[in-house]
A and B are shown apart, each in its own frame.
Chain A
Amino acid sequence: MRPGVVVPLAVFAVIAVALGIGLQLKPSEIPSALIGRPAPEFALDPVQGTDKGLSSADLKGQVSIVNVFASWCVPCRVEHPLWEEVAKTGVPVYGINYKDKPQSAAAWLASLGNPYARTGADLNGRVGIDFGVYGVPETFVVDANGVIQLKFIGPVDRNALETQILPKVRELQARKP
């Protein structure tokens, strides 16, 4: 037997394993380039109808969650009650309102409730771009030094909240500032 004839089979075995692993991966989720880096500098006015704006300075001092949302985003509506829940536990949830009409955003918060300790109206989406946002909703966990530690893409469900986001928050809270 010529040894060469086994080569195709061996190559295929490697590819098949990779494809198998590939099935578990989410190719459309682009990892953030900002993990482990300070959140970008920004200062945004509050969403119409709320009083506290959001700036990068607000992200320092305690572990916080930054949620990028918009009234036109259907999945945001789905995850919204979870933020209400998280806000009640004392973890500050900040909202960046991405490319929204001021009135629509105001109406949205008025009707669904406002879980956000602070909101920033990112009217032209530039702060979103600085955060590497490419779809809404996206959620970031920022540590007490204002460094981004986790990015979650897409709507947060209970499972993601309890297995990824909240454990990260607790881990960071336990860390000495």
Chain B
Amino acid sequence: MIAELGHFALIVALVVALVQATVPLIGAQRGNDAWVAVAQPAAYAQFLMAVVAFFALMHAFVQSDFSVLAVFQSSHSLKPLLYKVTGVWGNHEGSLLLWILILSGFGAAVAAFGRNLPPQLKARVLAVQAMIGVGFLLFILFTSNPFERIFPVPQEGQGLNPLLQDPGLAIHPPFLYLGYVGFSMAFSFAVAALIEGRVDPAWARWVRPWTLAAWCFLSIGITLGSWWAYYELGWGGFWFWDPVENASFMPWLAGTALLHSAIVVERRDTLKAWTILLAILTFSLSLMGTFIVRSGVLTSVHAFATDPARGLFILGFLVFVVGGSLTLFAARASALKPGGLFAPISREGALLLNNLLLATACATVFLGTLYPLLLDAVSGDKVSVGPPFFNATFIPIMFPVLVAMVIGPLLPWKRGDLSGMVQRLRGAFLIAASAGLITYAMVSGTSLVAVAGIVVSVWLIVGSLMPLVERAIGRGASLQHSAGRALALPRSAIGMAFAHAGVGFFVLGLTVLLSFQTEKDQVLRAGQSMEVGGFTVTLRRVESVPGPNYVAQRGIFDVSKNGTLREPALPEKRTYVGSPMVTTEAAIEPTLWGDLYVVLGDADGAGGYAVRAYFKPFVHWMWFGAAFMVFGGVVSLSDRRHRVGAPRRAKVDAGSGLKPAV
């Protein structure tokens, strides 16, 4: 009964979305206030219906109602409660419902927080948002109904993929979707602006917080996925340039470019057509990601069970949304007034360079990801485009970005003074260069690539944070005074410095990891040891340990360094009930300098076990760097000028007193 309620809620949501997609748009065109006013309640109603549907499905999962096909296919009564809940989006239908929930949630958020948007712009934004909603609701209702029943009702479910029974992966999709779908806000604002034929600094001001929020979510989502791969897949890889990973990385790159170009629109009232295009492309790439994952057009280690009918539907939808918006762009972009003079050496010039390189990097990832498909479609030849291609192309494109990320923020708007900047960055440069030289001199076997990576990452960290410190300290100020000044700095400036430094920490971790990782494979019997990265790993025994829905073979290893015994390493191999799948649980021992990573392999049948052990230096700096980057985004978001929701007019702010930024 509750499942039918959920299904019904989806149908109501579709009807509401159809109204929301048309009536306010016509109202805005004709200047009919009553029709314009429909947008807001419709957005609330659509969200409410999505919530009802989502909780109806969650109810079915928690109750293990196997008469619902999706529950039967991806759940099991023995599963821990957490994974019953997260199982809702562990399958195609449920994850689509989550997507719809988030999409309508963003719509409702605009309705709620966008009080000071001009009503017509708001109506148009909500209408565009609803059009996307209509597409997804049609998709779910006609090809992927999550509430489909089966009869006779099975006694037991088929279980969830054991790999998905992991907290990191369980919360990874919601963040990813919050990111993907969050970019729909920028898209809706862009299309609404094209319909209005006007883009101004205020528009950019409204778009930025939504884009920044989506960017933060997407960054978290990608990092969680990567972290999960690191500890779960059993060889410590964290990024494979797999099509599905690229599908999330391309919107991230485009969204990062968008964040920066929107600043130029806001501050200099220029680069408008490009920013609109980026907003359209960022969300289009998110949709393309959905297409890639759910249609099976590209081979990937992690695709949903695929269905050509679904692929065709998404392709049609993609053509409608992307083709439609790009047609609108072609028709209207010329009407956007180009901005004023644009000096190459200036803040806006640096941001333009950033956009050029990020867009090229994104296009490169796009080319590499889709090339096998394009070639197959044109000539029937099949090639693989793996990590070596991306490493050879993506990294050289991004390297200048990393260098320029320090310089750009120090350039003033309109016209920059290079010599003054050289003066300011001399210290950062000297520190970075010395770090590179010292590493080269002290660590044998340091490659030039490693040196370049270390120099650029230290440059990023020091060069991003130092100006912040300088601004806080000033000349001859007391400590107390400086602390006060640091707090008084605009949060957006602090956030930017943190985010840029976060990239630096990430690159540092990545460089050290790739350059100095050590790896050892050995067959060990009880009592035998192996050496890796200065650690001695000794196999004590392997025992069977029952889990809630699996049986684990657990290896017990003593770990010591320089004769001191540390925590034992306990890697596992798990065999799940009702699945032929075996998962590897690596034992990871974090240390100050990196992770010791031990994997238990197969038994040789004569008392020996294959053991693979790594020392992964600085790997935690990557996770920290990513987290710091997101933290920077959040700090920037808390700037009262960027508060989610539209900025208030100064008058309103004055009226409500000096409210602290949240």
Bound CA span A28–B281, Å: 28
* Interface membership of A90, Cβ < 8 A: no
Which of B159-167, B319-327, B588-596 faces chain A? B319-327
Q: Is the CB of B377 within 8 A of A25?
A: yes
Q: Are the C-beta atoms of A23 and B376 separated by less than 8 Å?
A: no
> Which chain A residues lie closer than 8 Å to B382 at the CB level?
27, 30-31
Q: Is B564 in the interface zone, CB < 8 Å from A?
A: no
B345 close to chain A: CB less than 8 A: no
Closest to B318 in A: A16
Residues of A124-155 whose CB lies within 8 A of B: none
Tell me the A23-72 residues at the B interface (CB within 8 Å). Answer: 23, 25, 27-28, 30-31
Query: Complex Cα distance A27/B377, Å?
Result: 10
Contact across chains for B326 and A19 when beta carbons are under 8 A apart: no
Instruction: Determine the chain A residues whose CB is within 8 A of the CB of B333 once the complex forms.
Output: 2, 5
> By the criterion CB–CB under 8 Å, are A12 and B326 in contact?
yes
Instruction: Say if the beta carbon of A20 comes within 8 Å of chain B.
Output: yes
Given A6-B330, A13-B323, check contact A23 B299 (CB 8 Å): no
* Known contacts A9-B323, A12-B326: A23-B312 contact under CB 8 Å: yes
Given the complex of chains A and B, what is the CA–CA distance between A167 and B323 in angstroms?
Answer: 42
- B334: A residues at CB distance < 8 A: 1-2, 5
A18 contacts B374, CB within 8 Å? yes
Q: Which of B280, B323, B327, B373 contacts A27 (CB 8 A)?
A: B373
| A9 adjacent to B327 (CB under 8 Å) | yes
Q: Kindly identify, within residues 374 to 425 of chain B, every residue whose CB is under 8 Å from any CB belonging to chain A.
A: 374, 376-378, 380, 382
- Rounded to whole Å, the gap between the CB of A55 and the closest CB of chain B is 30
Which residues of B are found within 8 Å of A110, using beta-carbon distances? none
A177 at the interface (CB under 8 A from B): no
Residue of A nearest to B381 (CB): A31
Give bound CA distance, A30 to B299, whole Å.
11
- Whether B308 is near chain A, meaning CB under 8 Å from some CB there, is yes
A15 close to B (CB within 8 Å):
yes
Cβ-based interface call for B138 (8 A): no
B297 within 8 A of A: yes
Q: Does B72 sit within 8 A of A, measured CB to CB?
A: no
Q: Say which size band chain B's interface belongs to.
A: 20 to 34
- Complex CA gap A104/B376 in Å reads 39
A90 smallest CB distance to B (angstroms) = 33
Q: Is B370 an interface residue (CB 8 A)?
A: yes
Give the interface residue-count category, chain A: 20 to 34
Q: How many pairs of A and B residues are in contact by the CB < 8 Å rule?
A: 71
**Cβ-closest chain B residue relative to A5:** B333
Q: B277, B297, B299, B376 — which one has the most chain A CB atoms within 10 A of its CB?
A: B297
Q: Which residues of B contact A18 (CB under 8 A)?
A: 370, 373-374, 377-378
Say yes or no: A9-B326 contact (C-beta < 8 A), given A2-B333, A25-B377: yes
The answer to whether A19 and B376 touch (CB under 8 A), given A5-B334, A13-B323, is no
Taking the complex as formed, is A21 at the interface, i.e. its CB lies under 8 A from any CB of chain B? yes
Q: Is B168 an interface residue (CB 8 A)?
A: no
CA distance A30 to B291 in the complex (A): 22
CA distance A13 to B330 in the complex (A): 13
- Report whether B377 and A12 are in contact in the complex, using a CB–CB cutoff of 8 Å: no
Q: List the A residue with the shortest CB-CB distance to B335.
A: A1
CB distance from A52 to the nearest CB of B (A): 33
Give CA–CA (A1, B273) in the complex, Å.
12
Partner among A8, A15, A23 whose Cβ is within 8 Å of the Cβ of B277: A8
Q: Please, how many angstroms separate the alpha-carbon atoms of A154 and B346 in the complex? A: 60
- Alpha-carbon gap, A27 to B295, bound state (A): 11
Contacts of A19 in B (CB 8 A): 291, 297, 315, 318, 373
* Contact present for A23 and B273 (CB under 8 Å): no
Bound complex: CA A1 to CA B330 (Å): 8
* Contact pick for A15, options B273, B299, B370, CB 8 Å: B370
Give chain B interface residues in 269-318, CB to chain A under 8 Å: 273, 277, 280-281, 284, 291, 295-299, 308, 311-312, 315, 318
In contact, B273 and A25 (Cβ under 8 angstroms): no
How far, in angstroms, from A112 to B630 measured CA to CA in the complex? 60
Interfacial chain A residues near B377, Cβ < 8 Å? 18, 21-22, 25
Whether the pair A25, B373 counts as a contact (CB closer than 8 A) is: yes
Is the Cβ of B376 less than 8 Å from the Cβ of A27? yes
> Within the assembled complex, what's the spacing in Å between the Cα atoms of A65 and B329?
57
A9 to B281, CA, bound (A): 11
* A5→B382 CA distance, assembly (Å): 33
- B311's nearest neighbour on chain A, judged by CB, is A23
Q: Is the CB of A22 within 8 A of B376?
A: yes
| Interface membership of B372, Cβ < 8 A | yes
A5 and B319 contact, Cβ closer than 8 Å, known pairs A18-B373, A27-B298: no
Task: Please tell me if the beta carbons of B296 and A27 are within 8 angstroms of each other in the complex.
Answer: yes
For the complex, give the distance between the alpha carbons of A28 and B373 in Å.
11
CB distance from B326 to the nearest CB of A (A): 4
Instruction: Note all chain A residues with C-beta closer than 8 A to B280.
Output: 8
> In the bound complex, how far is the Cα of B298 from the Cα of A30, in angstroms?
13
Are A8 and B298 closer than 8 Å at their CB atoms? no
- The answer to whether A9 touches B329 (Cβ under 8 A) is yes
Residues of A within 8 A of B (CB): 1-2, 5-6, 8-9, 12-13, 15-16, 18-23, 25, 27-28, 30-31
- 30 pairs, A vs B, C-beta closer than 8 Å: A5-B329, A5-B333, A5-B334, A8-B281, A8-B330, A9-B323, A9-B329, A9-B330, A12-B284, A12-B323, A13-B323, A15-B370, A16-B318, A18-B373, A18-B377, A19-B297, A19-B373, A20-B315, A21-B377, A22-B297, A22-B298, A22-B373, A22-B377, A23-B297, A23-B312, A27-B296, A27-B297, A27-B299, A27-B373, A28-B299
Given A1-B334, A2-B333, 17 extra CB contacts under 8 A: A5-B334, A8-B281, A8-B330, A9-B323, A18-B377, A19-B291, A19-B315, A21-B377, A22-B297, A22-B373, A27-B296, A27-B298, A27-B299, A27-B372, A27-B373, A27-B376, A31-B382
By Cβ-Cβ distance, the 5 closest A-B pairs, closest first, are: A21-B377, A22-B297, A9-B326, A5-B333, A1-B334
